[in-house]
Structure 1
Amino acid sequence: MAENDPWPGDHAPSLDLRTDVPHSARMYDYYLGGKDNFAADREAADKVLQIFPDVAVGAQANRRFLGRAVRLAASMGIRQFLDIGTGIPAADNTHEVAQAVAPESRVVYVDNDPIVLTHARALLAGTPEGRTAYLDADYRDHEKILTASETRALIDFTRPVALLTVALLHFVPDEDDPGAILEHYKAAMPPGSLMIFSHSTTDLAPDPEEAANVVRTYRAAGVNLTPRSEERITGFFAGWDLLDPGVVPVTEWRPDGDPRDAALDRSQAGAFGGVAVKPA
């Protein structure tokens, strides 16, 4: 694959954006204040916001959690990042954060949303020392992602890797067994690797019925949403050593003094997050 070409040769995939149907990535972009969303996305997102206005601030807090966790990984010497469920490019993408600490950092982005694919070149704009690549694939297809030429060209699986599944698995229903799929990725990582993970929850919601209405609103719009409990989210880290402070609301994971996080309480976070290291 060419350095700044998200797909090889002339084999760019056909794009079916279905702008008339809400999409989770575009709704998330709307919550973050982005412009890569359409009327159907905004309509669905506004229905969610009417029920639970803090969805937007929770999404923004989750994005800041990603930044803090990536900075930690880079400060610990990790120079390889596999970011699955990338989403539409926004401020402080993984490669921007990592390469600000270590310009030689390499990042492979993975997503299956056609609109993310249209922005792939923005995700490939890294430092001269580092490299980035984009892979059009679904989280469920772990074999394709782990063996793809784009992945193998940038990631050496004999050295520690930061595996990112941030705000992703709550869009994978229980019948697809997201934990079993995650285990394939965890098994491919060498000792010393980090897993950066966040997941939506209703545990933090002050009103359980309000939280249930949010889930129903997503599903009525055709977007699967499966929030999970703190116990189940913690279970995704099984076999790895959680770094302090463990699995906590994303606003409380190693806060860096950002006043936007300090102004929020845990009920507004909407998601638990954590970082774990694979033991030897």
Structure 2
Amino acid sequence: MSENWNWAASDGSAPSKIDLRTDIPHPARMYDFYLGGKDNFAADRAAAARVVELLPSAPAGSRANRRFLGRAVRHAAGLGIRQFLDIGTGIPASNNTHEVAQAAAPDSHVVYVDNDPIVLAHARALLTSAPEGRTAYIDADFNDPESIIGAQQTKDLIDFSRPVALLVVALLHFLPDSADPAAVLDRYKEVLAPGSALILTHGTGELMDPEVAAAISSTYTQAGLNIVSRTRAQVQRFFDGFDLVEPGVVPVHEWRPEAEEDFAMTREEIAGYAGVALRRG
């Protein structure tokens, strides 16, 4: 593991301790394993391996999700968006949001948000920037929109009177219906100016054999992790009030594919939906 680094919480304070539990599986570290990363432990690898037994394409699907993020961020930058709010950032990997955005537009501002100790431990990797741009990291929870919208780091980097790209990638499937993730997401959407973009992916078992989907869900539950599979129709409702750009809500590898790997994948190998939508003017 990399050295631990402390960065600002949503109230501007520095977290005093990073509590990393390495003896139980962790979704961010499992995702890191799927991506071929090294920031994972035996418990994470064991749980992820059980998922791969059930869905051998899980690593390829995770990489497809990552490629979608890059395509969506480039699309937003191509529309002239220069502000990005990435909530549920996850462990830094290649082609992070700021790397993609600032490669397209060096003056882009990116605010990363996560409440996860494992991500906080790697926050320094998210704070590099093109000389013309800026990045920040906030230790905060998606379920507390006001702490993120009102954070000093957000105020310093993001002007909500201008278009912003809001990224909620591979996050909402960890929130049960009882948490009302749609209502929480609506609060973020409310502050976005016309021309802003919502970039979202969400896990689903709808595209695979129902028995396999149930077994995967059970594997996460047995590992102490909650995961919610939602249908395409349910995922599409997260975009209410925004105009979906073509091709709409589709399996992640079908959203404007560019890489040979995406064209080679089938829907049955994909466990997630993706979409990009713009706020109406």
TM bin (shorter chain): over 0.9
Match of 1:229 in 2: 231
Q: How does 1:1-280 map to 2 (within 5 A)?
A: 6-7=7-8, 11-205=14-208, 207-256=209-258, 258-280=259-281
Matches of 1:276 and 1:106, distance apart in 2: 20
Are 1:201 and 1:271, in contact at CA under 8 Å, matched by a contact in 2? yes
One-letter amino acid of the structure 2 residue matched with residue 279 of structure 1: R
Matches of 1:13 and 1:55, distance apart in 2: 36
Task: Work out the percentage of aligned pairs sharing the same amino acid.
Answer: 59
Matches of 2:62 and 2:16, distance apart in 1: 29
Matches of 1:219 and 1:155, distance apart in 2: 37
**Unaligned ranges ≥5, structure 2:** none
Structure 1 runs of 4+ off > 2 angstroms?
A: 4-13
How far apart are 1:115 and its partner, in Å? 1.1
How far apart are 1:10 and its partner, in Å? 8.0
Are 2:54 and 2:215, in contact at CA under 8 Å, matched by a contact in 1? yes
**TM-score normalised according to structure 2 size:** 0.95
Give the match's secondary structure for 2:84.
strand
How far apart are 1:53 and its partner, in Å? 1.2
**Unaligned ranges ≥5, structure 1:** none
Matches of 1:106 and 1:231, distance apart in 2: 32
Matches of 2:177 and 2:28, distance apart in 1: 20
How far apart are 1:5 and its partner, in Å? 7.8
How far apart are 1:63 and its partner, in Å? 0.5
Matches of 2:102 and 2:7, distance apart in 1: 19
String of CA shifts for 1:166-203, please: whole Å, max 9, x gaps. 11100011110111110001001111100001101111
How far apart are 1:215 and its partner, in Å? 0.5
How far apart are 1:126 and its partner, in Å? 1.1
**TM-score normalised according to structure 1 size:** 0.96
How far apart are 1:11 and its partner, in Å? 2.9
Are 2:34 and 2:58, in contact at CA under 8 Å, matched by a contact in 1? yes
- Number of residues paired by the alignment? 275
State the Cα RMSD in Å: 1.4
How far apart are 1:13 and its partner, in Å? 3.1
Are 2:115 and 2:139, in contact at CA under 8 Å, matched by a contact in 1? yes
Are 1:73 and 1:162, in contact at CA under 8 Å, matched by a contact in 2? yes
Are 1:58 and 1:270, in contact at CA under 8 Å, matched by a contact in 2? yes
Q: Which moved more, 1:85-94 or 1:54-63?
A: 54-63
String of CA shifts for 1:113-162, please: whole Å, max 9, x gaps. 10111111100011111000000011101110110001111000000000
Matches of 1:267 and 1:23, distance apart in 2: 25
